[in-house]
Structure 1
Amino acid sequence: MPTFAYVANDNNKVSVIDTSTNTVINTIQVLSPDNVVKAITITPDGRYLYVTNLYNVVAVIDTCSNTVVATITVGDFPTGIAITPEGRYVYVANSGLATSTSGTVSVIDTDTNLVVATIPVGRDPVGVAVNPAGNFVYVTNAKSDNVSVIDTTTNTVINTIAVGDFPQGIAITPNGNFAYVANQGQSSLSNTVSVIDLNTNTMIATVTVGLGPTNVAITPNGNFVYVTNVGDNTVSVINVATNTVIKNIPVGPCPFGVAITPDGSLAYITRACDNKVSVIDTHTNTVVDTITVGNLPLGIAIGNVNFPCPSPLDRICIETTRIFDSCTFEVEKTIKVPVSNKIQGLQCEVLESKCSILNISKIDEQQNLVEVKLQIKVLLRITNKGCNNSSFKKVVCFNKNVTLMLPEGGDLSCEVNSATCGCNQISEGTRICCNNNSDCTVKVTATVKSKKLVQVEVPFLRSCESKQCSSNGGIRIAPGKSYPLPSVPSEINSIMFLAKTDQGMASPIIVLFNGLPLTFTTITEELTPYKLDLPGGPYPVGSVSLNNLGTSSIYIRNLTTE
């Protein structure tokens, strides 16, 4: 079962890391580049990502297509995010403005991707964690120095727990007994982690870690806590049994986010200052790999993708040219150029360059290795500025041997990437005899590749053929806007219409009664008839509105009610 790490980066992008190879295999553009993604969580089945965007939006990403499938408006400056164990609800900490006296937590129903509750908490809520039973949510309030406890059955705060200075990340042990809170410090960086007994909702221990602890993750077996220390570029490892630090691991500049693979073998650490992710082997507590990702990596989530994506039936076979091997090299040669005693300077210009394959000889049948003899010819024009701009042409040849892997039936090609020429300049007034020479240097960079036409099976998601151009037509509902309903009849049970979105887009549309959701559906790019039955109706038409919740315009035709 493949395991992927998803990293929230600046410019509103998410890097996708295959943990089996520790390589970035995709980059997802979330929303507009001027937004900022910060925190990220993944549904228990690995199907969807929920990503906070600081400008009041949570984006939903389908991990199958790596595309945004919904956007949800939440509170001001959403930061932390967590999902309940069964995947039904997402809790989002809205930190609010710097001057806000309190923040909020938005509750998203993942069945509808609608906000179903907004809960006031303390000042500047940042971290969110849900206990394994799913009945309580714990939110760190950075400027209140405490943790709010939310009862998920009523979505109300039932308790507040005092912790250290400027709490940030929070994580709960798999048995649900303890929470670990990173206290980053506000006026000056702190170096503590608070341990909360969740059975009594009291702080029972304080663990000294590195400087500026920021985020926390706990191994699946519940034995160890990993804490990122942004102030001293380390990760502290806490033994849960003794609440002591057993190791401080240097990981690189500004460690911020931390996530652990489902099997507990690796911890992934985002490094905000140098755009990298460090990989820690949890058995040895050493850094075993470093991965380059997007700018300013912050939040990170890891999950298994345990569904066919796409299904094996949705695949096609295509022919394409595959590059099996390549080699880039540089060669250089200095040539002597005769000069006159009237010289004021030489100019050297590359007119043409060409790389030719002279010979191919096999050196290893089993590995398809060959030795390739190459020749590069460069045609130059050399001009003597001091002798009536006299010039002449000269061909310079380079010979080069390279070793490549060439599959049976494959072809080789050689291309000159760049060719430059420069001559030594002689200062004005220097007397030179007629039979003297000056030096000109020619530099060439070239690449030789082995290629072959192959057939490959690839996922078939949709055709990329152009569609017939046509006007969208209909009444346009812009994203975030509503559409007025007919005033007759005065009470309604159902709304019927034809609708479509912009090409290649989809947008949810919702019916609200005095601001409360009644029903919704998703509009696609194909013009389709829709009927929305309003549960519990009839409703007075003046209190009902039809709203576009997506990022695409919706085009409505023939709207009627009954």
Structure 2
Amino acid sequence: MCRRSRLFRLASAALLFGVGTTASVRAEYAYITNQGDDSVSVVNIEKGEVIATIAVADAPVGVATTPDGTHLYITHPEAGLISEIDTVTRTVVKTIDTGGQPFGIAVDDTAPVAGNNAQTRRLLFVTDWSRNAVMTVDPVRGVVIDLIHAGKSPAGIALDRRARRVFVANRESNTLTVLDADVPRRYADIPTGRAPFAVALVPNGERVYVGNVQSGELTVIDAKALDVVATVKVGRFPYGIAVTPDGARVVVANQQDHNITIVDALSLRTVGNIRVGRHPDGVDITGDGSHALIANWFDDSISIIDLSTLKERTRVKAGKGCRAFGSFIVRNR
């Protein structure tokens, strides 16, 4: 949770998982939060270079993009703020004071409008580390409109827009809380491994993966039945998780091993371990599933991994203390 100088912060198989990856990268951009120098690095993934740096409020950590890629939202746990960035102008257009410690974040562009379900609006779901809750934020008005109790020290969060469920990893409760996205109620609290931190949802909504930092494993959960179906050993301190768009592979950043683990989603076996920079944290995957990007927190760099060769294609210098915890790749631009 703190800056580096304050130590660690903390169906059929074909239908379910689809096909493999391709070798090319579209012109996509990664927005990398740099907790140590209060900035966001904009990376052209195809070229493998930083093309812009955006100054933001203190110590940015979490990040989430809108589905259309026009805006993204950044959390600042130490300042109790959320920043909104316009990806066209690459400027901060709004800062929202939430209080607490906003950490993980997800964007919902399909939230129904009360009294008129034919209309939708944008909402943000944000974990609040210190208040053991999930905030619902109206980014248009810039206000917190609800605060829902979760477990202790909630961190990662994922939204299933179709099923209208929110999944929250509670680091100090060893549980995954499942919330209703539209009314303030809980569906379930599901036991996980020790210190769950990151959460990733398969695009078709069938599974949820939870990275358990202290037990070094993934908890695999049936997102409909809300049951644990498997536990998979990965590396030490899995802090970041992402799933390829076809659901076939899970990419896990192991902070204490300085590598990533690639897990085959069908067999739930490891198919590769790839060395990256020191203390990898946030993970995201390009829209075509060909490359994974890893924020190396202690190296101030981004590893771009070719998922067809399972090799690091290049390493890009970012800002100080890069975290990029969440969904940070802007697609469809």
Is TM (by shorter chain) over 0.5? yes
Q: Please say if 1:93 is aligned against 2:127.
A: yes
Aligned mates of 1:43, 1:179 — CA distance in 2: 20
The answer to which of 234-243 and 81-90 deviates more is: 81-90
Aligned mates of 1:63, 1:153 — CA distance in 2: 28
Amino acid at match of 2:271: I
Amino acid at match of 2:127: A
| Map of 1:69 onto structure 2 | 93
Contact kept in structure 2, 1:166 and 1:183, CA below 8 Å:
yes
Amino acid at match of 1:49: L
* CA displacement 1:326-375 (0-9 Å, x = unmatched): xxxxxxxxxxxxxxxxxxxxxxxxxxxxxxxxxxxxxxxxxxxxxxxxxx
Alpha-carbon offset, residue 174 of structure 1:
1.1
Contact kept in structure 1, 2:300 and 2:320, CA below 8 Å:
yes
Alpha-carbon offset, residue 132 of structure 1:
4.3
* CA displacement 1:223-272 (0-9 Å, x = unmatched): 00000000111101111111111111111211111000111111000101
Amino acid at match of 2:329: I
Aligned mates of 1:135, 1:95 — CA distance in 2: 23
Q: Please say if 1:177 is aligned against 2:206.
A: yes
Contact kept in structure 2, 1:75 and 1:106, CA below 8 Å:
no
Alpha-carbon offset, residue 200 of structure 1:
1.3
Listed as ranges, the matches of 1:279-428 within 5 Å are 279-299=304-324, 301-304=328-331, 306=333
* CA displacement 1:182-229 (0-9 Å, x = unmatched): 0001xxxx3211001111111111001011111110000010000000
Contact kept in structure 2, 1:75 and 1:104, CA below 8 Å:
no
Listed as ranges, the matches of 1:456-475 within 5 Å are none
Amino acid at match of 1:261: T
| Counterpart pick for 1:275 among 300, 307, 318 | 300
Aligned mates of 2:242, 2:104 — CA distance in 1: 14
Aligned mates of 1:117, 1:298 — CA distance in 2: 27
| Map of 1:25 onto structure 2 | 51
Contact kept in structure 2, 1:89 and 1:110, CA below 8 Å:
yes
| Map of 1:368 onto structure 2 | none
Q: Please say if 1:145 is aligned against 2:174.
A: yes
Aligned mates of 2:281, 2:174 — CA distance in 1: 20
| Map of 1:216 onto structure 2 | 241
Question: Quick one: structure 1 residues 75 and 128, their matched pair in 2 at CA, closer, same or farther if it must change by over 3 Å?
Answer: farther
| Map of 1:83 onto structure 2 | 107
Amino acid at match of 1:93: T
- Please give the TM-score of this superposition, normalised by the length of structure 1: 0.51
| Counterpart pick for 1:13 among 39, 43, 48 | 39
Contact kept in structure 2, 1:48 and 1:61, CA below 8 Å:
yes
Alpha-carbon offset, residue 148 of structure 1:
0.7
Amino acid at match of 1:74: T
Alpha-carbon offset, residue 84 of structure 1:
2.3
Identity %: 33
Listed as ranges, the matches of 1:115-126 within 5 Å are 115-126=144-155
| Map of 1:476 onto structure 2 | none
* CA displacement 1:379-425 (0-9 Å, x = unmatched): xxxxxxxxxxxxxxxxxxxxxxxxxxxxxxxxxxxxxxxxxxxxxxx
Amino acid at match of 1:120: H
Aligned mates of 1:151, 1:278 — CA distance in 2: 35
Contact kept in structure 1, 2:98 and 2:143, CA below 8 Å:
no
Contact kept in structure 2, 1:47 and 1:305, CA below 8 Å:
no
| Counterpart pick for 1:246 among 271, 282, 289 | 271
Give the ranges of 4+ consecutive aligned residues of structure 1 lying more than 6 Å apart after TM superposition.
none
Aligned mates of 2:236, 2:180 — CA distance in 1: 33
Alpha-carbon offset, residue 65 of structure 1:
1.5
Contact kept in structure 1, 2:180 and 2:187, CA below 8 Å:
yes
Aligned mates of 1:292, 1:17 — CA distance in 2: 10
Structure index of larger Rg: 1
| Map of 1:47 onto structure 2 | 70
Aligned mates of 1:217, 1:85 — CA distance in 2: 21
Structure 2 residue runs of 5 or longer lacking an equivalent are: 1-25, 111-120
Aligned mates of 2:106, 2:184 — CA distance in 1: 15
| Counterpart pick for 2:162 among 127, 133, 149 | 133
Relative to its length, the structure with more strand (as a share) is 1
| Map of 2:195 onto structure 1 | 166
Contact kept in structure 2, 1:214 and 1:230, CA below 8 Å:
yes
Alpha-carbon offset, residue 153 of structure 1:
1.7
Aligned mates of 2:29, 2:190 — CA distance in 1: 34
Aligned to 1:241, the other structure's residue is in SS state coil
Aligned to 1:297, the other structure's residue is in SS state coil
Aligned mates of 1:173, 1:39 — CA distance in 2: 20
Question: What do you get for the CA RMSD once the two structures are aligned?
Answer: 1.4
Aligned to 1:37, the other structure's residue is in SS state coil
Aligned mates of 1:278, 1:25 — CA distance in 2: 16
Contact kept in structure 2, 1:85 and 1:133, CA below 8 Å:
no
Aligned mates of 2:284, 2:65 — CA distance in 1: 12
| Counterpart pick for 1:36 among 59, 62, 72 | 59
Amino acid at match of 1:17: V
RCO higher in structure (CA 8 A, sep ≥6): 2
- Please give the TM-score of this superposition, normalised by the length of structure 2: 0.85
Aligned mates of 2:203, 2:66 — CA distance in 1: 17
Aligned mates of 1:12, 1:94 — CA distance in 2: 20
Alpha-carbon offset, residue 85 of structure 1:
5.6
Alpha-carbon offset, residue 158 of structure 1:
2.3
| Map of 1:263 onto structure 2 | 288
| Counterpart pick for 2:224 among 190, 199, 204 | 199
Aligned mates of 1:279, 1:140 — CA distance in 2: 26
| Map of 2:80 onto structure 1 | 56
Aligned mates of 1:293, 1:266 — CA distance in 2: 18
| Map of 2:250 onto structure 1 | 225
Aligned mates of 1:155, 1:218 — CA distance in 2: 28
Amino acid at match of 1:152: A
